[in-house]
């Protein structure tokens, strides 16, 4: 029987309460050597919804799994129809104050690195360098047969040409760039093959039910080992892909701090959880550190 991936987590009643004090975050960044681990919550202020927060997409949407995508041609057609439409909104998203604050902290030498669970590329657009994209990037497409990689805008053009007149109105856009469409709206949407070998194209992201490439995981583990502290921004840490790094830091005695409005699965390992919106919190922290934020993000 095919198992579904872990999509939800129910917090225990005895978790440490959140705080609105940013003092520990300010002190930790002042000391330097901070490794940032970001999740969907840092991009909500850019118009990209999260999975599990208030109004999160999992309340109405089950993400595509790797097993369904690779094993069912109808599922692939449904995915690409929805993703093609969603990309028009997703691809236009711009960094917010949270992304700009992380980039500013790095420019001032306070960070040892950035790991993101997001696939939107907004950290890089905001100016962060050397970002480890744990789950990949929707801006790239890869062939499952020959491994050829291509930019998403190229696929968007080909799909538009193959599906002239495809203009349904989506009910909502999800964190993975998937738009909510009915089967009737998907209709007979045409999927295009790899231009190199004719194989199946997949966004260069880690789907639910798919493993993060081991070399990428080990690179992240090395970053955690070398960090003075771990700062989690906007992640519920429900799935193991991010939680394992928090557990690793906790077991090593590396301080863990979390900024997330709701309780997380990693709270037991953290010195504190700041329950504030990320844009507000990080802008305040930057101000206390005397670090200005760029008004404009770098061009895409």
Same domain as 279, residue 181? no
Same domain as 255, residue 119? yes
DSSP symbols for 258-282: EE-SS--TTGGG-SEEE-S-HHHHH
Residue 167 confidence (pLDDT): 85
Rounded CA separation 266/254 (Å):
13
Q: What is the CATH number for 122? A: 3.40.50.1220
Q: How many structural domains does the chain have?
A: 2
Same domain as 172, residue 115? no
Same domain as 180, residue 74? yes
Among 185, 205, 225, the domain-final residue is: 205
Q: How far is CA 245 from CA 50, 51, 205, 209, 235, in A?
A: 20, 20, 19, 19, 12
DSSP 179: B
Same domain as 187, residue 268? no
Among 205, 228, 258, the domain-final residue is: 205
Same domain as 143, residue 131? no
Tokens standing for 51? 């999975």
Residue 122: inside a domain: yes
Same domain as 77, residue 195? yes
| Direct distance between the N- and C-terminal alpha carbons of the chain, in angstroms, rounded to an integer | 43
What is the number of other CB atoms lying within 10 angstroms of the CB of residue 131?
A: 22
Return the residue matching tokens 């003075």: 228
- Beta-sheet pairing, 201-205 with 136-143: antiparallel
Residue 53: inside a domain: no
Please give the residue range of the domain that contains residue 237: 20-48+95-135+212-300
Q: Which residues are annotated as a binding site for NAD(+)?
A: 39-59, 117-120, 234-236, 278
Q: Which residues are annotated as a binding site?
A: 39-59, 117-120, 143, 146, 194, 197, 234-236, 278
Q: What is the CATH number for 183? A: 3.30.1600
Q: Quick one: which of 165, 145, 142 has its CA closest to 85?
A: 165
Q: Which residues are annotated as a binding site for Zn(2+)?
A: 143, 146, 194, 197
Same domain as 164, residue 299? no
Tokens standing for 206? 């880690």
pTM (2 d.p.): 0.88
Same domain as 274, residue 222? yes
Q: 287: Cβ–Cβ under 8 A, 6 or more apart, which residues?
A: none
Same domain as 298, residue 247? yes
Among 165, 180, 205, the domain-final residue is: 205
Query: Could you read off the pLDDT tens digit of each residue along the chain, which spans 300 residues?
Result: 333 445 555 666 677 789 999 999 999 999 999 999 999 999 999 988 775 445 444 444 567 899 999 999 999 999 999 999 888 878 889 999 999 999 999 999 999 999 999 999 999 999 999 999 999 999 999 999 999 999 999 999 999 999 998 888 766 777 667 788 888 988 899 999 999 999 999 999 999 889 999 999 999 999 999 999 999 999 999 989 999 999 999 999 999 999 999 999 999 999 999 999 999 999 999 999 999 997 644 433
Catalytic position from the list 84, 99, 123, 135: 135
Rounded CA separation 113/103 (Å):
10
Rounded CA separation 138/57 (Å):
18
Rg (the chain; Cα; Å): 19
Rounded CA separation 227/215 (Å):
18
Same domain as 247, residue 106? yes
Q: Where are the beta strands (DSSP E) in 167-216?
A: 201-205
Same domain as 39, residue 85? no
135 is an active site residue: yes
Q: Quick one: which of 42, 80, 244 has its CA closest to 162?
A: 80
Residue 1: inside a domain: no
């Amino acid at each position: 029987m095919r198992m579904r991936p872990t999509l939800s987590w129910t917090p225990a009643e005895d978790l440490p309460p959140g705080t609105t004090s940013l003092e520990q975050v300010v002190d930790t960044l002042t000391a330097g050597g901070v490794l940032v681990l970001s999740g969907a919550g840092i991009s909500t202020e850019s118009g990209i919804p999260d999975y599990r927060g208030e109004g999160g997409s999992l309340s109405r949407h089950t993400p595509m799994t790797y097993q369904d995508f690779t094993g069912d041609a109808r599922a692939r057609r449904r995915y690409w129809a929805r993703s093609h439409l969603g990309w028009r909104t997703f691809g236009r998203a711009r960094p917010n104050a949270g992304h700009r604050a992380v980039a500013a902290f790095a420019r001032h030498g306070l960070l040892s690195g950035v790991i993101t669970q997001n696939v939107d590329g907004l950290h890089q657009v905001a100016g962060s360098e050397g970002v480890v994209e744990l789950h990949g990037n929707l801006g790239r497409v890869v062939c499952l047969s020959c491994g050829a990689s291509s930019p998403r805008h190229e696929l968007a053009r080909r799909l538009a040409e193959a599906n002239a007149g495809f203009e349904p109105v989506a009910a909502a856009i999800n964190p993975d760039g998937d738009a909510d469409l009915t089967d009737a709206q998907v209709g007979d949407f045409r999927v295009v093959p790899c231009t190199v070998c004719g194989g199946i194209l997949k966004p260069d992201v880690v789907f639910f039910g798919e493993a993060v490439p081991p070399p990428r995981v080990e690179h992240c583990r090395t970053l955690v080992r070398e960090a003075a502290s771990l700062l989690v921004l906007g992640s519920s840490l429900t799935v193991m892909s991010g939680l394992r790094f928090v557990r690793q830091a906790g077991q090593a005695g590396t301080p863990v701090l979390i900024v997330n409005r709701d309780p997380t699965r990693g709270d037991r390992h953290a010195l504190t959880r700041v329950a504030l919106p990320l844009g507000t919190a990080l802008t305040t922290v930057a101000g206390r550190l005397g670090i200005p934020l760029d008004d404009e993000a770098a061009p895409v």
